[in-house]
Chain A
Amino acid sequence: MSIHDTALTAGHYIDWGVISVSVTNLSIIIAMIVVFVLAILLPFPHARQDDDLERQDRP
């Protein structure tokens, strides 16, 4: 196998019309979207406790 063949076969790509993305990059993008969604959905620790403290502070 020549060096050119190695370069051409390095990595796996997904082609969709004009869009060409490596599986690695696509995996990272999907992971970032998952983190984004989790950041919105997951409850923040001690959030309720802070609310209670704030209520106690009020006159």
Chain B
Amino acid sequence: MSTQQRVVPAGSATGGSWTAWLRTRIVGLVPEGQALPDRQPAYVASWIYVFGVLTLAALVVVVGSGLALAVGGSAWWHTSSFGHFINSMHLWSVELFFAVMVIHHWGKFWMAAWRGKRALTWMTGVVAFVASIGTAFTGYLSQSNFDSQWISGEAKDGINSIGAGAYFNVLNPGQMLMWHVVLLPLAVGVIAILHVILVRRHGVVPPLDADLPEHAPERAGD
């Protein structure tokens, strides 16, 4: 077999290949060296910048403990002490997830983090927050105890009042469990990945009074 050199048409960076096109798109998502940076601007040396990554760390524990719960099933934690431990880990990592996420929001709100073409970063954060609330609420309905029964009995009136009860039946534990372990975590996961890519693409927002260099290196999309 002879080796042949492929001729790339002039003016085409990818030569019409979808793999090359996709590679170019993936590589171009964030500026070179910014996907996993080891240095950050001086203003990032503050505890308030830690809460975003704390939220991600909590999300990893939430998903990990959730996967372990999925192995045993939704009623596992009622009969097994190990299952109860994993369930408690799932609960408390969610509590921490929301606490550090809200502190992250306060910090970002007061530093006007939508500046510098970061509006999409801000919006994906908001959508991730809303999707997380939905995931938490369907989690309450998946406890398989009297608490989830009572909460679903109360929630049905609210859902029916907006006309969604026929499609989103909070009294159906099977449907709520599927929303809790498949659809909503998928949404939160995808939006969280998009959010992190956008943060790495545009960089961490500087404080309002930051003394930035006059010719600071441009980031993607700026």
Contact = CB atoms under 8 A, between A and B. Distances in A.
Interface of A: 28, 32, 35-36, 38-40, 42, 44, 46-47, 50-51, 54
B20 interface: no
Contacts of B106: 36
A40 B99 contact: no
B35 to A, nearest CB: 21
Interface of B: 42, 45-48, 50-51, 99, 102-103, 106-107
Given A36-B106, A36-B107, A39-B107, A28 B99 contact: yes
Contacts of B42: 47, 50-51, 54
Contacts of A28: 99
B45 A39 contact: no
Contacts of A40: 46-48, 107
A44 B99 contact: no
Given A35-B99, A51-B42, 15 more contacts: A36-B48, A36-B106, A38-B47, A39-B46, A39-B47, A39-B50, A39-B103, A40-B47, A42-B47, A44-B45, A44-B46, A44-B47, A47-B45, A51-B45, A54-B42
